[in-house]
Structure 1
């Protein structure tokens, strides 16, 4: 408790002591005053006991304020007068350079340097702030360096400024006042302000602004309590290759005596007509070169409250930009319209047509245009081209297909060519025939993606009904539409090369009216199924409309038609119809009935697929089909292969049997046959042998095994065994004997009186019985040794 009382007492005593020190202390200053200069010392606080005293000789006059016009000694009856008093140093009749000078005695005081400006009659004072540069601020703002300039003309505040800005000069024609507020303790920045005389101006004040050679943004304000019928002008100097944008941040407009004279923003560029803009509209943007901006107040209808005075706060931005310019004319005969669109409105890219900034610019045939682009990359701008191709009379329409192309003559127009729209207008009651130069088109449902950079959309012009969208490289060879006016849109996903536009997207021709509303000629392929859909999918077909698909198949193929999605409406009278009919045989394979579920079909040849909507449908009639090819030769090929397989098996079996039989026949041992009859035949031959026409020897033998005839003549077993060994080799050589395949004996000449049979029998007798004549018919061989034994036998049996 005692400690708390002591603390409170100490705090109160300190406050009291400081107050007594401020009030009871004193400070004495010696002030030197220059000619044409007045120093005002005023108390900043109304309730204060500190006074300033002017000492003159022995007398001292103390007041709450003082006015000094000559050298004076000042005495303050407080120790810190800088906290109580402010100092104003005023210089009158300034027409030459302003050279601010510091008064060191007042360094600690908040001081204001004031220069009263009074130009001669019909002259204007030019205040040059090139050494400092001014930046306009709001009335309640302060400056970082504690130096605040204020300019007033005829007691009207023109503005407050800080140093290091873009305002280089201010012109005033009437009596004015330039003030510089410097905070206490801050040394005065003694930069010279040039003053010169110039011709008389009609405005309240002129500001000369020099924008720096870098991207910058400056705010400017109209004078506070803007007098009626008064004008303020800003002169902007813009660096080369820099472009300015003007933006109004806030404004108030008074009630004018004449509403048509409402205050406006008036812009003037060298060599151009003045441009006047209201406060509530967009102001000029991306403008090159120096320009003037003037704001003039109107004559007021009566006294206005301060909140309704004219006040405008605007912003000037300067940016260095790269500029592109395109100037030309679109040929009128082509009926072209090019729309240049900026993709991102927030992009720094700027498009201007005839000095008017736009996000979307439209250029039409027959008009001269000047298109400027600033800081626009190629991908930031898209081009949409509309071209109308019209043929009113048949004599002017050629029946041969014409290509749909776009000859891009204006290469200087920036951007990427994104969309081309052709409007085809043919004769009345005509039809349009479309084909792809690449060979075929592919139907692309809205939910699918096109596998190409080009997507084609076909629609009716009058009803805006979309027939469908298509991609290149498909199975649709031709599209026929019973409509004289259609629109074809080519949307390009990646069109970096504009020369692609010169290549034909489609070919078109106008023909006589067709029986159906739509006819599609389709040639399916084996690799991928072909998707077909009714026109305007996924929306329904138009009432009473008809569509036909002519599906052409190669002879070796058949098709499977699958109905993926079919929606049937409710009809009052005639129901919708879906029919499938073959082309060659004219056979109706399918025709729907009411409320019948549609089944998939297998069509063996080319066919028609026809659909008809009813007159007054309730609901949508739409269908999506899928055509898949199958090879029709698969079954026949299976039958042929089966027959060939059976034949091969039979041939193989017969060949094996023949081979085994022949091998068995070759392995059979040779057989000697004695034929006592007159007819000789070979073993194994069938049929009755023919009789010899000539006389034959009855003792003719085909083959005689000697061992069967002469083996009994052998004397003992040793000789018999030796003979058998000797004839074994010879018997082996004869195992393969066959009367059908052994070579024939060489023919000998037939003697006179002999025939072939008697000659052969004689030869055999000689070979068999040569022992009687003492001759041998064999060579030196195992057989020869047998023959020698036979000779010995013969000799033993000889009568001699």
Structure 2
């Protein structure tokens, strides 16, 4: 029987153990007992669920509830109705420490109750220490020290420390901190509240800090930051990002080894509206003869400081109606001194005008590892990551940087001349000052802003060596290049990037111009000494730009229109003056057949004009571009844009290549002999005509003009082609070109005086010479136009007929032409063949 009873007992115990093992974790009973007089309270309350979940309850005294409060001296047992109570509830443990009525329990702070006695919930331990405002309390943090984080940031392990102080009855948030930082102590004036948040899965069982008594610190707080080697710390003012308390003082103490250097950078700050005093920061630097060193928040902050120092933020009495916000976020960077730290560079800008130089970090990818900072120090103490030097003074600078390639320089100089009488033909040489080139930092950009009086002067840029335009077909491989642009009201026109070793001799710009020297390699200093730009003020012209090009006989020249990425601006015109040697022939080739341009207003034209013969060709840029053609003389290429439809743009790329001129000797001999014979024949013909004319004048009377008012002037099958454009009383008056006029009495008026007949005279186009680009045709209308007769005045913009070809060539007639100018330009009858 005893053995049977023993077997039954073992079986029953196994069932009970199996049932206990299968019991839900939340259903396990927990018990919390708080000693009397400990000043500890525990509150279990609902947390913020991250996802919609099934409801869960606290089971206390066999009753479900959502909140359980346990006071000092109480013992309560409870359980949860769900398996994952950490998703539903949090527990808050608060301990009140009274230092007003008795001595404070200084020393290491323990977690009470221990974490093992608490349910596996997110826990927040809070210690509220009440002390007199004349008493200073010190929170000491053991290793690892604390690192301050900003609002919205979180700690990697989920463990955070929140510290607050008091000003009378108002709580002041000192900051939120994570582990693994530099903050070792925080000293508070009066009471302090320390909160430690532990996630439910963290098994930490120590608080990590202790409380000590200090004498009055006579300020809101002091934060001590200890550096044992290179590193950085980011710190914030109290209540950040909200306003710093009015007229308060806060101090940071930085403990740094003497062989290291520290620099301060303000990352973000705001100032309030002060009625009394002035908001400022004060530095106490051991060994300095000017302690404390006072700076405004907007000033460059000290750097390259050896050893420990203090930084204090002082508020002011704020305007009650509009107080504003005082806040500060800054970084302290500690690193080893570099070789450049002991070298002082002098930048003399005392003789410069309207010039500035900025030294700043070049863009780099961010890294999570500690990267020593790069600082530029003025007079070896005022250090920052960005430093701007202005004209009119000498500047002494040093560098606190482990790698100077992480910095670069950008400079800007303005050259202006607003009096066109004084500026005319005046020139300037664009050159980088030597004091800038001797700095151990790469020059990135040096920009010259050239300003001229509006509609009075233009600018001409002449390089010491001819320039090449950067294109995909011919890339600039030099260590520097020039970026040229014009700057006008509401419109910036980028002409392109140019480097030495090309065919461009001059760039002329209508209005204000910007020239930027951009470098790509340190070797530019040797190359730039052989290159230079001279800018001069020239008479005003209306085109956006004019390029003077002398092609090289050994290579092709690639040229493209300005604003390559965005297209040539609407209703703008650009010209290229291309020189062709007398023993060469130029081939003009466009890289595409069509531009794809669709004009909304006006016409887009290209004019190609040879400067010697003055023959010009006009092409519509909305149609097919011309095939490759040869030019035997220097010529102009003028491109004029219309107002294109949205999304359309005008961008053209063309090339010019030279080939030797080849002439057959036989053809030359035949041309010489034939030309001589033709000249003799022409002389004989002229002599005969002169003799015959004299004989007629001797034998005959004066030439007679016959007037017949009944003749029909309309051509057959063309009614109303010629309309009346003169007074009715003066119609059908013919002018006969001869020595005398017969029947002159028909031209007398009632008073007997002669009335001069109106005559039409065709004036040949006096085209531009080689110094001026061709004038583009009118481009301000899309409507079809009729050709103008000599009797019709030309309107401001004459549109083209839709039925006519846009491409044509016409040589200019020279002055003194003997052609008959009385025939209208349109519908003129063909000249009669000899003998008819």
TM-score normalised by length of structure 2:
0.47
**Which has the larger share of helix?**
1
Q: With the length of structure 1 as denominator, give the TM-score of the two structures.
A: 0.49
Structure of higher CA gyration radius: 1
